[in-house]
Amino acid sequence: MLGEEKKGFKLPHIYVLLVSIILLCAAASWVLPAGEFERVKNAAGRTVVVSGSYHVIESTPVGLFAAIKAVYAGLVDAADVVFFIFVSYASISILIATGAFNGLISALLKKLKGKSRVLIIPLFIVIMGAAASTIGVFEEVLPFIPIFVGISIAMGYDAIVGMAIIGLGVGLGYSGAAMNPFTVGIAQNIAELPPMSGAAYRIFCHAAMIAVSSAYTVRYALKVQADPTKSLVYGEDFSKLAMSEDALSKSPFGVREKLVLSIFGVALIVIVYGCKVWGWYFEEICATFLIMAFLSALVMGWGPNILATKIVTGLNDIAMACMMVGIARGILVVLRQGHIIDTIVYNMSLPLDGLPVWLAGEAMLILQTLLNFLIPSGSGQAATSMPIMTPLSDILGISRQVAVLAFQFGDGISNILWPTAFAPVVAGLAGVKLGTWWKWFVPLFGWILVTQMALVAIGIYIGW
C-alpha cells in the first residue's frame, strides 16, 4: 500500500554516496601502485599525456584525514564550475520567474492537441541537444529542469519526463556533438585532425541517439498519462514544482514575455559568437547572463529589491546541487594525491592492444564511458585519454575520427548516469531520488550504448 514503508535496499543520501567513494578511492591508493605519464604542452598550449611514458613512482597513499580534507579541496578545485552554476542558475531563474517560458509552452500546447502534445518531448530534446552540440552548454540549462518538471506534470506526465527532456538533451548533445569546442574541439586537436572535421557523420549519430531516447521517453510519458500509477514517482510529493494544466494554459504570452524571450535569444547568440570568436569562457558567459537577467527584470517592471530577492531564491534552490559538484570533485582530488589515476587509465588501456579492429573500437567506447566516472570533465578526459587512444588507434588500424567518436560517446550521456558527474544534480533539481532516476534511465542507457556500438561499427566499416 502507498502508506507502507518499502523494505529492501535504499540508496544512501547523495552526500553519503560521494564521501563513501572518496574513502574508497583513498583505500585504493594503499593497494594500487602509484604511477604517472609524462606530460607536455602541445602546439595549442594544452597539457597532454605523452603516449608510452607511463612509469611507476613512489607510493603516495592517502590517509583518512587527507581523504576528509578532500571534501573541502574538491569544492575549491571545482570553484569555477560551482560559481558558474550559481550565477547562471540565478540569472536564468529570473527568466523563468517572468513566466515567459510558461507562456511559450502554453502557446505551443494550444497548437498541439491530444496525444500530439507529446511532440514537445522530442522537440525540446532536439533544441537542448543542438545547444550542447555546438557551444557546449550543460550547466547553463540546469535551471530549466524544475520548470520542465512542472510543465510535464501539468501535461499529465511526471517529474522524470521533465528532467529527462533537459538531461537527455544536453547529454546526447555532448555525445553527438558536431562542433563542441570543449570536447570534440580539444580531442580533434590532440588527434591532429582538422578542426570540426567529420561533423556530418556525428550529426547522423546525434540524430540516431535522439530517435532512440525520444521513443523511450515518449512511450513512458504516454503510459503515465494513461495510468498515473505507472509512474515511478507515483505518490511522491512534487507540490513545490507542480502546476496544473489549467494554470499553464492561462500563462500570459504578451509583449513583455516575448521581449524577455527575445533578450534570452540575443544573449545566446552573443554567447555563441563570444565563445567562437573571442574565446569567452565562464566569466564572460556569466556576465552576459547577468545582463540578460537585469534587462528581463527591467522589461517586467521589477525594481532592484524584487530582482535581488528572486536571485537569492535561485541561489538557494541550486546550493545543494553545487555542493554535489564540489564533493564529487573531491574524488578526483584523492586520485591525484594518490597518483593512481594514471595507473588506472594505463591498465584499462592495456587490454585494447592486440584486439581485432571491430572489437577494439567497441572496447574504446566502453573504456571512455568508464573513464568518465573518474574524470567527469570532457576537456580533462580528452587531455588524459586521447594522447593514449590516438597512437593506439593507429596501431589497431582504427581511424582517429572513430577514436574521437568513442571518446565523445563515452563522455556525453554518461554525465547523467555517474554519481561523480551530473546525475545527482539533475535528479536533485527535479526532486527525484537518484535511485529512481537510475531505475528509469539505466535501461535507456543500455539502448543508447547499443546504438553507439552500432554507430562505432558503422564508422569503422565505412572507413570514416
**What integer pLDDT is reported at residue 2 of this predicted model?**
39
Sign of CA pseudo-dihedral 314, 320, 321, 322: positive
Q: Would you give the DSSP letter of residue 232?
A: T
Q: pTM of whole model > 0.85? A: no
144 assigned to some structural domain: yes
User: Does 369 fall in a domain?
Assistant: yes
End-to-end CA distance of the chain: 55
**Would residue 8 be called left, alpha or beta, if left means φ above 0 and alpha means ψ between -120 and 50 degrees?**
left
According to the model, what pLDDT value does residue 113 have? 67
**290 is a domain residue:** yes
* Beta-ladder partners of 39: 49
In a domain, 26, yes or no: no
Within a domain: 99: yes
Domain residues for the domain of 92 are 39-49+77-461
**What cell numbers appear for 61 in the block?**
597513499
Give tens-digit pLDDT for 320-344: 878 888 888 888 889 889 998 888 8
Cell of 237: 510529493
Backbone angles phi, psi at 352, to 5 degrees: -70, -30
Number of domains the chain contains: 1
- Is 18 part of a structural domain of the chain? no
> Minimum mean pLDDT among 164-168, 304-308, 350-354: which range?
350-354
In a domain, 19, yes or no: no
3-state SS assignment for residue 168: helix
Classify residue 241: in a domain, yes or no: yes
3-class SS of residue 1: coil
* CA–CA separation, 345 and 360 (whole Å): 16
3-12, 38-47, 132-141, 418-427, range with the lowest pLDDT: 3-12
